């Protein structure tokens, strides 16, 4: 049974992540937003600290790297006992780091969303070979956004290599990472079953970063357009099995999202909590105390609104922890991962904007970080599957319908 308290084994990790967020991310948050596309050099030291925490083995995993579903450590044993392992550790630590700054977390070396893809799909040899690689994830294409099954980037087998051709857009950390995990089709005529993911190192001939995007939020994180023009990668860089299994369909590639969506939900939870914490303080300074022992309707209108926002946030947090806990205990979590992503993505935007409104001119100005958090949080409702796509996935799971039956 899931315990709603922070697991004892992860409390030190959560405390460390919070200290890093408060003392290292918050102080440079505004600096690197204004210096868009400039690499935050402070992150090199932070990444080394996170590596040390993870390598110690005391945390079960830290950061956004994700874990493999076939890992045997910290999972449910045959005796039925439950475990809080690396998925839970990642979700908790990410939420704390995003209490500091979402864009800076997404800029941390070796903590890219592509790392979660590797952890989800790669075999044991590949996980060892790509250990320590900072991997971005390249899925979206011009004209192909949420419907990942329709990607047109191709990968053609040529001897011991695959030749990749296509264009990917909105690649998080695409200009800074060591490699990108590229989704491409082996045979367009075989539909979604032929879509595979490939690890492509950044110095590979035929791969080039075309441009970096200017964005509404997470400006400290670079977002790239990448072109693949007869880009050759070794066949062993195809993650998982090269076989096209029409019975399995898109399930193998989509398993990546069962790992990454709870992590994105955790980002939204952390960013929203930052806004709530600061708003509570600002309301108190204005003479509005939030009383948790009294019903909202008998309190100040601002206090009631705050309580409504906080209760909505709590629902998102619990769904996020549930999805991570299920992954740690070898339970299928595709439905819960989408539920967590849908709820947290919506709540992240609603809470941060609500806090801006509650704080008025203070919330709207650059004297505080509230307006920045409101802008940063919006992307968390979009990437890794939009709000609308998550609701569609949830409906399919609940009703037991296929993608062809419910579009």
Supply the Cα-derived Rg of the chain in whole angstroms: 21
| Beta strand 135-138 pairing with 179-185 | parallel
Six-digit token pair at 130? 């790509």
Integer Cα distance of 27 and 43 in angstroms: 12
Say how many C-beta atoms besides its own lie within 10 A of residue 350's C-beta.
Answer: 18
Beta bridge partners of 184: 196
Secondary structure in 3-state letters for 101-130: CHHHHHCCCCCCHHHHHHHHHCCHHHHHHC
161 in active site: no
Longest dimension (CA), the chain: 73
Judge contact between 362 and 282, C-beta under 8 A: yes
Integer Cα distance of 273 and 351 in angstroms: 8
In the set 33, 368, 371, 384, the catalytic residue is: 384
Helices in 130-207 by DSSP H: which ranges?
Answer: none
Judge contact between 267 and 94, C-beta under 8 A: yes
Q: To the nearest 5 percent, what fractions of the chain are helix, strand and coil?
A: 50, 15, 35
Query: Would you please indicate which residues are annotated as catalytic (active-site) residues?
Result: 384
């Amino acid at each position: 049974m899931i315990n709603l308290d922070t697991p004892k084994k992860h409390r030190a990790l959560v405390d460390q992540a919070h200290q890093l967020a408060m003392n290292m991310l918050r102080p440079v948050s505004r600096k690197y937003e204004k210096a868009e596309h400039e690499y935050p050099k402070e992150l090199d030291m932070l990444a080394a600290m996170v590596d040390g925490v993870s390598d110690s083995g005391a945390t079960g995993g830290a950061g956004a790297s994700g874990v493999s579903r076939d890992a045997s450590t910290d999972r449910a044993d045959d005796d039925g006992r439950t475990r809080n392992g690396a998925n839970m550790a990642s979700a908790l630590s990410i939420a704390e780091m995003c209490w500091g700054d979402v864009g800076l977390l997404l800029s941390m070396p070796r903590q890219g969303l592509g790392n979660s893809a590797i952890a989800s799909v790669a075999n044991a040899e590949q996980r060892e070979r790509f250990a320590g690689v900072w991997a971005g994830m390249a899925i979206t294409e011009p004209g192909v956004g949420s419907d990942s099954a329709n990607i047109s980037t191709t990968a053609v087998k040529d001897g011991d290599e695959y030749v990749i051709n296509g264009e990917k857009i909105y690649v998080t950390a695409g200009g800074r990472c060591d490699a990108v995990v590229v989704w491409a089709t082996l045979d367009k005529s075989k539909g979604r079953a032929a879509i595979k993911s490939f690890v492509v190192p950044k110095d590979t001939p035929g791969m080039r970063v075309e441009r970096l995007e200017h964005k509404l939020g997470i400006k400290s994180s670079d977002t790239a357009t990448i072109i693949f023009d007869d880009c050759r990668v070794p066949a062993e860089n195809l993650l998982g099995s090269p076989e096209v299994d029409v019975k399995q369909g898109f399930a193998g590639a989509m398993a990546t999202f069962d790992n990454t969506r709870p992590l994105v939900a955790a980002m939204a939870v952390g960013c929203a909590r930052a806004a709530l914490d600061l708003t509570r303080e600002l309301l108190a300074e204005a003479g509005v105390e939030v009383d948790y022992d009294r019903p909202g309707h008998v309190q100040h209108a601002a206090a009631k609104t705050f309580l409504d926002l906080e209760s909505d946030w709590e629902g998102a947090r619990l769904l996020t922890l549930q999805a991570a806990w299920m992954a740690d205990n070898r339970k299928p979590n595709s439905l819960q991962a989408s539920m967590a992503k849908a709820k947290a993505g919506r709540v992240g935007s609603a809470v941060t904007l609500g806090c801006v409104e509650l704080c008025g001119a203070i919330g709207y100005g650059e004297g505080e970080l509230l307006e920045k958090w409101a802008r940063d949080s919006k992307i968390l409702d979009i990437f890794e599957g939009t709000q609308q796509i998550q609701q569609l996935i949830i409906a399919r799971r609940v009703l037991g319908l296929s993608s062809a039956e419910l579009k």
